[in-house]
Amino acid sequence: MPIRINLLAEIQALEEERRRDPVKRALLLSAVLVACVLLGTLVFYSHILVQNSELAALQTQYHLLKRDYDQARANEKQLAEIHHKLIALHQLGANRFLMGNLLQALQKAALPDVPLSRVRVEQFYQLTEAAPAKTNAAGRVLQPARPATVTERILITLDARDESENPGDMVTVFKERIAASPWFRDLLGSQGEVVLRNLAPPVQDPRTGRSYVGFSLECRLQEKTR
């Protein structure tokens, strides 16, 4: 039987030992893990880039929508203010003080012996600025907003002469007649009043020779806030 001698056996054994070296395997495994980590990082980074691009597109769309929303809210606020002013103008037009109605009421309340010498109407308007709503730190409304208002005050002064047979007797009668007039009664309300402000002593009219008493009535109409 022939004898076979492997002259490379020692070299092959060393090569096999090197292949089975754990350090080499660990290095190879580490290289594979590092490659996997790098690949995963690259995939994750690319995913982030895609998400950032989508986020930027959404932010751009949000800003466009927000601009349109802010413009719509501003238009809505302006429309509400215009609507409020129109309502106030309609109320003012419907409730405005008309001199024709005053003259008609005076004509109905007139007495033959008590002619009017002067009618003076004074109108005063006081503006109250609008007040914003008051809120606490949590945003809870403590006091609601208050719109601007205008308070109207009207003062009517009637200068007349009592030319009756006994001058002075018709002053109270005329005063009560004015206060009982439907037009004056409605505008005087519960707070208004008719007051005798001036009562002069009897004097003689040089034209007619008759005596008369001059007096003034002040009609302070009820205040109106609009």
Among 87, 160, 96, 89, which residue's Cα sits nearest to residue 123?
A: 96
**Model pLDDT, residue 76:** 87
In this structure, are strands 116-128 and 149-162 parallel, antiparallel, or unpaired? antiparallel
Q: Are 218 and 155 in contact (CB under 8 A)?
A: yes
**Model pLDDT, residue 7:** 56
What is the average per-residue pLDDT within 31-46?
Answer: 84
**Model pLDDT, residue 194:** 87
**Model pLDDT, residue 165:** 87
- The CATH architecture one would assign to domain 97-225 is 2-Layer Sandwich (3.30)
- Residue 172 CB neighbours (<10 A): 12
Alpha-carbon span 223 to 218, nearest angstrom: 15
Q: Report residue 19's pLDDT band, with 50, 70 and 90 as the boundaries.
A: low
Residue 68 pLDDT greater than 70, yes or no: yes
Q: Where in the chain are the domains?
A: 1-96, 97-225
What is the average per-residue pLDDT within 170-179?
Answer: 90
- Residue 158 CB neighbours (<10 A): 22
Query: With pLDDT > 70 as the criterion, what percentage of the chain qualifies?
Result: 85
pTM of the model: 0.56
**Model pLDDT, residue 157:** 92
What does the mean pLDDT of the chain come to? 82
